[in-house]
Amino acid sequence: MPTSSSDIGSRRLDLAGTRDFNVAGAGRARREALSAFNRSWLAEVWRSATGGARTEGVALAAVGSLGRGDAGPLSDYDLLLLHSERSMPAKELTALADRVWYPIWDAGVRLDHGVRTVTQCRQVAASDLTAAVGLLDLSAVAGDAEIVAAARSTVAHDWRGNARKRLPQLVEALAARYARQGELAQTIEPDLKEARGGLRDMTVLTALAEAWLADRPHGGLDAAYGLLLDVRDAVHVVTGRGRNRLGREDHDAVAALLGHSDADDLLTSVSDAGRLIAYALDGTMRRAGQSQRARTLRVGPRRPQMTPLGHGLFASDGEVVLGSSRLAEADAGMPLRAAVVAARAGLPLAPATLDNLAGAGPQLPVPWPDHARDLLGDLLASGPGLVTVWEGLDQVGIVERWLPEWTDVRSRPQRNAVHRHTVDRHLVETVVRAAGLVRRTSRPDLLLAAALLHDIGKVRGAHDHSVTGAAITRAVALRWGFPERDVDVLELLVREHLTLIELATRRDHQDPATVDAAVATVGGDREVFEILLALTEADASAAGPLAWTDWRATLLEQLAVAVRARLDAPRPAAGEDVPVAVTPVGALDPAVADAVRSGEPQVRVVSGGGSHRLDILDTDRVGLFADTAGLLAAEGHTVRTAILRTVDGVAANEWHVESPSGAVPEPERIVRGLSRLARGDRGPLQTLDRRRAHLARPSRDSGVGSPGQARALVVPGASSEATVLEVRAQDRPGLLYELGAAFARAGMSVRSAHIATYAGQTLDTFYLTGSDGLPLPPARVAQAVSLVIDTCDGVTPS
């Protein structure tokens, strides 16, 4: 063969590398060159396999990306050896197939292959939906082109004829794939091919057009498809593998190859492309369904069914349409009004209607009139129907018209482990969650506006997105025509939207200073507090399950109870001291206290959802916190909060835990474990010790590991009763136990601990006192900081 088959992979990579990835039009030229090279080499393989003889009724055909001509540098080959039933004897056909397939395998190219007749292609397409869609891309590589054309036309004819049956199957297949692969636009490590909005969805769009049910959009859609192909090609070049997933470790290299300023810029462009493809597919699927229903129901001329929705809008075949384009031309508020009607009906706006609404109609004056602002509030309060309607408005540029600042957060990725959406999608999801909480406040308009804007400051270069967002919010709220006092409230809500959840999860809400901080945040205004509380819940629940767990909800509610008690308390007269609201521990039952002092711990478990509260009574002693933390870790429970109090010499402690295994803590096992630990028996911790034994323990001068990465920060003013330390470190089994043991050895008491772990990182807060029950003096604070850092880093003095 003229071309060696031993280096095809490197030849394809070299060919890709000779094309500038960041030059306009280079991607298409690169793929055309690669397609020509692939087909040329395969034609050489075919000539070698056939000895150059002319073959009647036998051909080599390509499907998939090779058939479409958009294969990447290291894409696999999807090939079919097509033949007529009488083209050649079976043994000769098998020998020919071997002479074709083996050189490809020897070249190290991944190969999906088959040998079929036209009839067999038809049968496979009839029984396998994925194969049917793939065979629509069938194209000739070498041999008898007529048999390839016959196979393709036969499959396409059947596809059109069976469209009525195949469309529901296609809908089900898409839903199943999306459930497995997720949404490309909302994923940090997307599968560029299989995810919703990925490359495979473009083949589905082509298949729908091939069925003559609906034409697919072009223009911007083709550009989005080309962008995803460019990213896929760059992944091949960077990794040296024919993969389709854009891994986190490849972000920087792929971004540089494609000429993006950074990885976030790359992900934003990928998200935009995925959103456009997904939106186009949704609309085309609706068009296909409408076309199918029209064919089924037509008896003579058919008029569309139009259900009036008011304001010149109608529900028609699963969409909201505008009765006359003149309505949009005359009314600047028509886009808002149409969006409200569609979202409340749970229907998307038809593409033609969106285009009319986005056309050259009058613009809203600045500031907005009251009725326009009210319509925006109605839209934001519409619930789940908002998501689809907002996406349509965003695709045609209407959202940007209302909120120019939206472009800076549109499709912007979030690398925080708790977030499951891009910034803009998270904002919309937060609005939907907030719409379900509006009855908690008398100002739902402020709650919903704050929900839409709370992360608007997550823009490039922002040091603190809450502060940046507050300034942006003030400008937006003034433009929307909010009164000055409401503007002040919205600015506060955006600036402080993380404050309550941080106080609830990382501070002791029974400490007066924590309640003071929450009250000061809202300026002592009960109504503002309720709005901020609802915004906090909406934000956390929209972020995802890592941000809104049972224990977080419980802690936030406990803080809310304490703050409401303070805000509702009678105001002192002038000159009187402000009463301090502290949740009393209360006296213990004498019989229970005597039993505990005699060595019989008491444990009560209160379960709620996936979290559990453990009320543990035991004789107060040095190291009790560490022993309890170690025991719970050994039992497989994750500690979230520990609030520790001593009453009459008895430790009355409250622990909040989660159980990843689903097991409910057993009070009897905990009692037995604590009793054994109190006697010096370390047996209950053996399971934890075994897990810890596998962890590396680098010394300070060993050069192994990464000592010094942990951070321990003193939080001044967080409490007048204890020294408050915030700890950030790499998590590992038993870390809380190790910290507790270190504090005990140093004679420090843990009054409360608040534990959070995200993506393997701990964000813990400890309230520490000395043996005298008072905050630590400066020298001891320095000792505590050093102790925490050494313990977290696993460093032992050499």
In this structure, what DSSP letter does residue 5 have?
S
- Look up the CATH number of the domain holding residue 74: 3.30.460.10
Report the percentage of the chain scoring pLDDT > 70.
Answer: 91
Among 161, 186, 221, residue at a domain's last position: 161
pLDDT, the chain, mean: 88
Are 119 and 201 within one domain? no
In the structure encoding, which two tokens stand for residue 132, read together?
């049917």
- Are 796 and 697 in contact by the 8 Å Cβ rule? The answer is yes
Q: Residue 647: what pLDDT?
A: 81
Are 603 and 636 within one domain? yes
CA 326 → CA 323, 359, 394, 683, 796, distances in Å? Answer: 9, 11, 22, 81, 77
Are 43 and 68 within one domain? yes
Tens-place pLDDT, residues 155-214: 999 999 888 888 899 999 999 999 999 999 999 999 999 999 999 999 999 999 888 878
Contacts of 683 (CB under 8 A, 6+ apart): 676
Residue 772 to residue 715: CA distance in whole angstroms: 21
Q: Residue 585: what pLDDT?
A: 43
Residue 579, pLDDT above cutoff 50: no
Nearest-CA neighbor of 335 among 397, 385, 291?
397
In this structure, what DSSP letter does residue 710 have?
-
Are 639 and 530 within one domain? no
Residue 470 to residue 460: CA distance in whole angstroms: 16
The alpha helices in 313-397, defined as continuous H runs, are: 325-330, 334-345, 351-357, 370-380, 385-395
Are 233 and 148 within one domain? no
Q: Residue 708: what pLDDT?
A: 46
> Which of the residue ranges 12-26, 429-443, 550-564, 639-653 would you say has the lowest mean pLDDT?
12-26
Nearest-CA neighbor of 644 among 736, 552, 778, 549?
736
Are 779 and 653 within one domain? yes
Residue 339 to residue 560: CA distance in whole angstroms: 35
Among 145, 161, 177, residue at a domain's last position: 161
Map residue 374 onto helix, strand or coil.
helix
Task: Return the sign of the alpha-carbon dihedral for residues 131, 134, 140, 145.
Answer: positive
Q: Does residue 378 sit within a domain? A: no
If one counts the domains in the chain, the total is 4
Q: Does residue 387 sit within a domain? A: no
Q: Does residue 185 sit within a domain? A: yes
Residue 697, pLDDT above cutoff 90: no
Are 648 and 670 within one domain? yes
Q: Please state the separation of Cα 542 from the chain's center in Å.
A: 10
Are 139 and 174 within one domain? no
| Other Cβ atoms closer than 10 A to 52 | 8
Expressed as residue numbers, the domain containing 457 is 409-569
Among 246, 274, 297, residue at a domain's last position: 297
DSSP E strand stretches across 341-465 = none
To 10 degrees, the CA torsion angle through 25, 29, 35, 38?
A: -130
Q: Does residue 401 sit within a domain? A: no
> Which of the residue ranges 284-288, 296-300, 691-695, 750-754 would you say has the lowest mean pLDDT?
296-300
Q: Does residue 117 sit within a domain? A: yes
Q: Does residue 621 sit within a domain? A: yes
- Are 654 and 750 in contact by the 8 Å Cβ rule? The answer is no
Residue 798 to residue 787: CA distance in whole angstroms: 15
- Look up the CATH number of the domain holding residue 612: 3.30.70.260
pLDDT, mean of residues 562-584 = 65
Q: Does residue 662 sit within a domain? A: yes
Confidence of residue 576 (pLDDT cuts 50, 70, 90): low
Residue 706, pLDDT above cutoff 60: no
Q: Does residue 746 sit within a domain? A: yes
Residue 31, pLDDT above cutoff 80: yes
pLDDT, mean of residues 348-371 = 91
Q: Per mean pLDDT, which of 257-266, 280-289, 487-496, 754-763 is the most reliable?
A: 487-496
Confidence of residue 39 (pLDDT cuts 50, 70, 90): very high
Q: Residue 575: what pLDDT?
A: 54
Q: Residue 303: what pLDDT?
A: 63
Contacts of 794 (CB under 8 A, 6+ apart): 695, 696, 697, 698, 705, 707, 732
Contacts of 38 (CB under 8 A, 6+ apart): 12, 66, 71, 77
Q: Residue 705: what pLDDT?
A: 38
In DSSP terms, which residues pair with 307 in a beta bridge? Answer: 315
Are 153 and 196 within one domain? no
Residue 620, pLDDT above cutoff 90: no
Are 130 and 249 within one domain? no
Are 521 and 667 within one domain? no
Q: Residue 302: what pLDDT?
A: 57
Q: Is 617 left (phi over 0), alpha (psi -120 to 50) or beta?
A: beta
pLDDT, mean of residues 346-374 = 92
Contacts of 670 (CB under 8 A, 6+ apart): 601, 603, 614, 616, 631, 632, 635
Residue 20, pLDDT above cutoff 70: no
Are 765 and 624 within one domain? yes
User: 114: part of which helix (H) or strand (E)?
Assistant: strand 111-116
Residue 6, pLDDT above cutoff 60: no
